[in-house]
Amino acid sequence: MAIEIYDTTLRDGTQAENFNLSVEDKIRITQKLDTFGIDYIEGGWPGSNPQAVEYFRRIKDVPLQHARVAAFGSTRHFKNPPNEDPNLKALVDAATPVITIFGKSWDVHVHDALRIELEDNLLIIEDSLAFLRQHVEILLYDAEHFFDGFKNNPDYALATLGRAVAGGAETLILCDTNGGTLPHEIPPIIEKVKQYVNGLNSSVKLGIHSHNDSETAVANALLAVSLGVQQVQGTINGYGERCGNANLTSIIPALVFKMGLQCNVAANMGRLYETSRYVDELANLPHDRYQPYVGESAFAHKGGIHVSAVQRNPLTYEHIEPEKVGNIRRVLVSDQAGKSNILHKAQRYGLKLDDNDPVIASIVSELKDLESKGYQYEAAEASFELLMRRAMGLQKKYFKLEGLRVMNNKYRMDMPPLTEATIRLFVGGDEVHTASMGDGPVNAIDRALRKALTRFYPSLQEMELVDYKVRVLSGEHGTGAKVRVLIESRDKSSSWGTVGVSLNIIEASWQALVDSINYKLMKDELEKE
């Protein structure tokens, strides 16, 4: 049985406190999830805000290898006919191959939230789905608050599913929306649902959408799958409203490695770690080092008997091999930590690096030192490749900075400040001294740098900075805290991320900008070979 993985990070995940994504972030995460092998990616609620509408407009032009994008929304308002309901029309206008709508399963919600009669709710479930059925390839139904509804009024909860099937839903997703259901409550409810649905249409599939308010979302999802549920909904790293959603970075490896089930993501499990970190970096949030499978400490061993045993046989204190999910074993007192990761990256970058090459130890040592200072490379692969090439003596020096000055002048309180950057550098034996105005210090530096280098490297004209993020690494120091700057750049053929870290935000930005330009020039040179 193939298990479908449905990701709702871009919609349900963004309901988490302090979890925010731009439209550009959402598109990049969509591409990352597609590369990972996720089956369905819920892009948002097109009837709820302009950002969601913009996402669906832009994602149409983004080629995806495997994943199908889903638009999310609710059943129609009781006063609106289906063909005149703004929410349903917005779902159709999103023009996605998949539409997921939710309806009320709990009679309490029907009376208190919708304030309509129970039969009226059944009507809007069926005719909303029937209207959408004619406009979409795949139609999914989220039975909101299903487990609470079943415990309160099982006959009515089942009746809502029956109407969803009558309306044309091909998958019914049972939602533990409040996250209060415990694992022992799941089996009898799902067995009753299976009996009921099979009596209506044996081809209809079931799904599970669990929240983590009782710390059981992952357990509930896995238990549901063991009972025959074929679709699992969740978010990367478990982000979601209140205490979060079911964490796909824990569910997916359990399905593949523990339960031996078929999933499309199985072929790409080595990308789980980088996918998890990528989402955190774009959301500008710290990564949970203690998270199962993908946390920095998930396969870390510190001193004593554990280290000795793991060095002889890792299975003594590891439930799976870390490389299977793209993580690494970290023996905190050993120089071997990270060696396998370096070899993997070298192969990926097309670099010839032998298993016994002493440069590996040099790279590992430098990496540890930089990470202790706050550098992270999950969303800054370009900076990491440059680091490796420098260690191997393969990185050409395209220019040398001699001096940099940035001036911010606020002449009038009712006017924006004027910002100017001045740069002095050498390209070979040529000295270049340039200045440029900008919209803020980073933009001014970027413009001055390009102005200085473009006559030597004309291809820089096609390169642009598309994203810029700053993260405070040590908040206890207030405005004197160290910061990490993450920059995303692109040209006509690809995009790449670079990183800089410093107590000075200008210095951190400069580091990331320089890496970005060096990577572009290196990439161009390699493409000519």
Which of these ranges, 261-275, 366-380, 456-470, has the smallest mean pLDDT? 366-380
Tell me how far apart the alpha carbons of residues 21 and 13 are, in angstroms, rounded to a whole number. Answer: 10
**Average pLDDT over all residues of the chain:** 91
* Pairing relationship of beta strands 464-472 and 430-438 according to DSSP bridges: unpaired
pLDDT recorded at residue 455: 92
Side chain identity, residue 504: N
Helix ranges, 60-183 (H): 86-93, 107-109, 118-133, 146-152, 154-167
Using a cut of 0.95, tell me whether the model's pTM lies above it. Answer: no
Neighbours of 460 (CB within 10 A): 20
Which of these ranges, 267-276, 293-302, 515-524, has the smallest mean pLDDT? 293-302
pLDDT recorded at residue 494: 87
What DSSP string describes 477-498?
GGGG--EEEEEEEE-SS-EEEE
- Counting residues of the chain whose pLDDT is more than 70, the rounded percentage is 95
Longest dimension (CA), the chain: 83
What DSSP string describes 416-447?
PPEEEEEEEEEETTEEEEEEEEESSHHHHHHH
Tell me how far apart the alpha carbons of residues 459 and 522 are, in angstroms, rounded to a whole number. Answer: 11
pLDDT recorded at residue 360: 87
Q: Which two tokens stand for residue 263?
A: 């999933």
pLDDT recorded at residue 376: 85
Compute the residue count for the chain.
529
The tens digit of pLDDT for each residue in 469-526 reads 999 887 556 667 899 999 999 888 888 999 999 999 999 999 999 999 999 999 999 8
Reply yes or no on whether the pLDDT at 399 is more than 60. Answer: yes
The tens digit of pLDDT for each residue in 428-459 reads 889 999 999 988 888 899 999 999 999 999 99
Q: Half-sphere exposure (CA, 13 Å, Cβ side) for 389? A: 19
Which of these ranges, 265-279, 305-319, 329-343, 383-397, has the smallest mean pLDDT? 329-343
Q: At what angle do helices 23-36 and 50-59 cross, to 10 degrees?
A: 50
**Domains identified in the chain and CATH numbers:** 4-282 (3.20.20.70), 400-528 (3.30.160.270)
Q: Are 237 and 281 in contact, with CB atoms under 8 Å apart? A: no
Give the pLDDT band of residue 417 (cuts 50, 70, 90): confident
Q: Which residues pair with 401 in a beta bridge?
A: 425
H-helix or E-strand spanning residue 142: strand 138-144
Tell me how far apart the alpha carbons of residues 293 and 272 are, in angstroms, rounded to a whole number. Answer: 9
pLDDT recorded at residue 310: 66
Which comes out higher in pLDDT, residue 16 or 477? 16
The tens digit of pLDDT for each residue in 116-168 reads 999 999 999 999 999 999 999 999 999 999 999 999 999 999 999 999 999 99
Q: Which two tokens stand for residue 159?
A: 């009746």
For residue 348, what are the contacts with CB-CB under 8 A and spacing of at least 6? none
What DSSP string describes 201-228?
-TT-EEEEEEB-TTS-HHHHHHHHHHTT
Q: Which two tokens stand for residue 268?
A: 């790409």
3-state SS assignment for residue 85: coil
Neighbours of 50 (CB within 10 A): 9
3-state SS assignment for residue 191: helix
Average pLDDT over residues 246-263: 97
The tens digit of pLDDT for each residue in 20-69 reads 999 999 999 999 999 999 999 999 999 788 899 999 999 999 999 999 99
The tens digit of pLDDT for each residue in 307-341 reads 566 667 777 778 999 999 999 877 654 444 467 66
Residue 426: phi and psi, rounded to 5, are -120, 135
What DSSP string describes 246-314?
-BHHHHHHIIIIIS--B-GGGGGGGGHHHHHHHHHHHTT----TTSTTTSTTTTEE-SHHHHHHHHH-G
Tell me how far apart the alpha carbons of residues 222 and 247 are, in angstroms, rounded to a whole number. Answer: 11
pLDDT recorded at residue 476: 59
